[in-house]
Amino acid sequence: MITGLPHRPCPLVLAAPSGTGKTTIAHALVDRFEHFVFSVSATTRPARPGEVDGRDYDFVTRERFRAMIEGDDLVEWAEVHGNLYGTPARNLQAAQARGEHVVLDIDVQGARQIRRRIPDAVLVFIFPPSAQALWTRLTARGTEELDEVRRRIRAGRQELEEAVHFDYIVVNEDLDRAVARVRAIVEAESHRPRRILDFEDELSRLRGEIDRVIRVEDTDDPPPE
């Protein structure tokens, strides 16, 4: 009896205007569910208070970042708000090898590159429930000057134009609901025929079983167990 088919994991891209809460969603997925792993990006941005090197980001110098680009170590990279950010290719390879869904918390430029290089990736765009929610979240962090907050919100307005190219849109009006929606998307994506491992073998096994049942029915013998 088949109870579930083993499948290839999905690289999951989360993009959103700054302050939408996508990083919180990404970490919640990893904390709450099995088989999700966070892709730790490399960045030249200085660490904010509370951020941990190697957990939130790999904080690197511009020289190191350039070396990573030249060494083809990054599967995508982009300049965001004056700093460089990139996804180490090994994050995706390691997740694939362990059968885990790797969650990429990246900007829309990075999402575009992932779409080109990994057509199989699932791209989810997170919407804020309102502009006021963005403003409240960005100012509550207390880490950015108001001019910087305005700049990020203006950039977010521009990023919205990319949403139409994503596979799914999820509104983050409530963290638990948004996390459940993203989880449901990954669950559904895992059931696509192209993600099922050894799909052809599975098909021919079932075909063989059906043929045997039909033959037995024809001879009026009881069907095999």
- Residue with the CB atom nearest ligand 5GP in the bound state: 110
Could you say whether residue 18 binds ligand 5GP (CB under 6 A)?
yes
What is the full DSSP assignment across 27-95?
Answer: HHHHHHSTTEEE-PEEE-SPPPTT--BTTTEEE--HHHHHHHHHTT-EEEEEEETTEEEEEEHHHHHHH
Q: What are phi and psi of 127, to 5 degrees?
A: -95, 140
Residue from the set 60, 80, 124, 179 that interacts with ligand 5GP by CB under 6 A: 80
Cα–Cα dist 35/196, whole Å? 16
| 85, 92, 134, 170: which one binds ligand 5GP (CB under 6 A) | 85
Residues 107-126 that bind ligand 5GP (CB under 6 A): 107, 109-110
| Number of DSSP helices (H) and strands (E) in the chain, helices first | 8, 9
User: Which residue, 65 or 186, is less far from ligand 5GP as judged by CB?
Assistant: 65
Identify the sign of the CA torsion 220, 221, 222, 223.
negative
170 forms beta bridges with 126
Six-digit token pair at 156?
């977010």
Burial (CB < 10 A; 0-12, 13-18, 19+), residue 95, is: buried
User: What's the min distance (Å) between Cβ of 211 and ligand 5GP?
Assistant: 50
Give the per-residue contact string, 147-186, with ligand 5GP (x = CB under 6 A; - = no): ----------------------------------------
SS3 of 121, please? coil
Is the CB of 85 or the CB of 166 nearer to ligand 5GP?
85
Write down the least CB distance from residue 198 to ligand 5GP, Å. Answer: 33
**159 vs 189, which CB is nearer to ligand 5GP?**
159
Window of 30-38, 60-68, 75-83, 91-99 that interacts with ligand 5GP by CB under 6 A:
75-83
- 86 lies in the binding site for ligand 5GP (CB under 6 A): yes
Bridge partners (DSSP) of residue 12 are 103, 122
How many residues does the structure list for the chain? Answer: 225
Q: By CB under 6 A, which span of 81-89, 166-174, 194-202, 206-214 interacts with ligand 5GP? A: 81-89
Which residue in the set 28, 36, 76, 182 belongs to the binding site for ligand 5GP (CB under 6 A)?
Answer: 76
Rule CB under 6 A: which residues touch ligand 5GP? 18, 41, 45, 76, 78, 80, 85-87, 105-107, 109-110
